[in-house]
Structure 1
Amino acid sequence: MSYYAPRVLHVPAGKGVVKWMSGDVYETMAPAASTDGALGFTVCWVPPGSGPVAHVHKSADESFYLISGSLEFLNGDQTFVADAGDLVFVPRGTRHRFRNVTDEEAHMVSFFTPGGGEGLWLEGGDDPVAGRKPEFWPPERGMALGPLLGREDIDMVILPEDTDSNGPV
């Protein structure tokens, strides 16, 4: 291997692939295919009340770094709040989710090692629509992602206490 061969990935700001996922905005800057599978890197904006349902990544670790705002994280069966400047590392096989329980949008980066988990929103998310904001999905829309969840090696792990009158939270 030559140390002088150009191999660096550079993605300028605003040039990632943007998808909407149940109210959230995800800009994937480095999908696994661009890093030989080593990493999947996404910039996320999470509005108040938003975030995914409880789930487990069986074959990847997931990490989060909060740039601004606060998010409540589920860690197995316990919760904690992460604030701007905090790092959260979720080892594979850990039941988790994040939720914005504040009245301000949260901004963070998320990355999978190895990459691949970002395929869920790259394939199952909505394309942005100019002049509109992303909408929260009804529970049945999220449940329709079942085939993608299996392919991305993700299990939803929703317990009775994870639901309200509108379905999974």
Structure 2
Amino acid sequence: MSDGVVVRSPGSGPATWAMGGLFEHLVGAADTEGLLGVSVVTQPPGIATPLHRHTREAEAFFVLDGRISYQAGEQLHELEEGSFIYLPRGLPHAFRIRGTVPARFLAFTAPGGLMGLYDEVGIPAAERRLPGEDGQTPEVELPKWAEVGPRYGLEVVGPGIPE
């Protein structure tokens, strides 16, 4: 890898269980001189974030499977398989996984350091699947977000998208 090229075979990158989901890291800040982070994220229906913003990174998402309601600023977007959304740095946003099946999407961050937040609040994935009883409970994980998030420029600015 001396030329900077990163190749990941399926299931070969690091993986974390966080936010009730599976984050499979394809490339991160350490691999890209800090420029880019990309993960395949799988989350079950009902998972939602509060309205928040990132002071350091822009984000983008490409939906592979499932449905996601995404609030970007004042607008609500309904994303489905094949949908793409780009969120500039500092824009308040929130999402909720909809439907009856997990959503699977590519998550991009530029620069690439944000995925470290999920690694700090989550736990290493024992397998490439959604966490079950072997994952963290929200009571254990949520306080970590409040503690670790500000170090990554994460600011919660309001409530999430209602069910």
- Which range, TM-score by smaller chain? 0.7 to 0.9
Count of matched residue positions in the alignment of Structure 1 and Structure 2: 159
Scaled by the length of structure 1, what TM-score is found? 0.83
User: Which one of 71, 79, 83 corresponds to residue 80 of structure 2?
Assistant: 83
Q: Which has the larger radius of gyration?
A: 1
User: Which one of 58, 69, 83 corresponds to residue 72 of structure 1?
Assistant: 69
Q: Could you tell me how far apart the structure 2 residues matched to 1:144 and 1:128 are?
A: 17
Aligned to 1:144: 144
Q: Could you tell me how far apart the structure 2 residues matched to 1:118 and 1:13 are?
A: 19
Aligned to 2:59: 62
Scaled by the length of structure 2, what TM-score is found? 0.86
Q: Could you tell me how far apart the structure 2 residues matched to 1:143 and 1:54 are?
A: 17
Query: What are structure 1's unaligned runs of at least 5 residues?
Result: none
Pair 1:7-2:37 in alignment: no
- Provide Cα deviations, 1:57-79, integer angstroms capped at 9, x if missing partner: 11110000011111010112332
Instruction: Please report how far the alpha carbon of residue 137 of structure 1 lies from its aligned counterpart in structure 2 after TM superposition.
Output: 4.1
User: Taking every aligned residue pair, what percent have the same amino acid on both sides?
Assistant: 26
Aligned to 2:109: 112
Q: Could you tell me how far apart the structure 2 residues matched to 1:140 and 1:96 are?
A: 24
Q: Could you tell me how far apart the structure 2 residues matched to 1:121 and 1:132 are?
A: 15
RMSD: 2.3
Q: Secondary structure of 2:82's match?
A: coil
Aligned to 1:156: 156
Instruction: Please report how far the alpha carbon of residue 122 of structure 1 lies from its aligned counterpart in structure 2 after TM superposition.
Output: 1.5
Query: What are structure 2's unaligned runs of at least 5 residues?
Result: none
Q: Could you tell me how far apart the structure 1 residues matched to 2:4 and 2:88 are?
A: 28
- Residues 48 and 100, structure 1, Cα contact 8 Å, conserved in 2: yes
Q: Secondary structure of 1:144's match?
A: helix
- Residues 39 and 112, structure 1, Cα contact 8 Å, conserved in 2: yes
- Residues 65 and 88, structure 1, Cα contact 8 Å, conserved in 2: yes
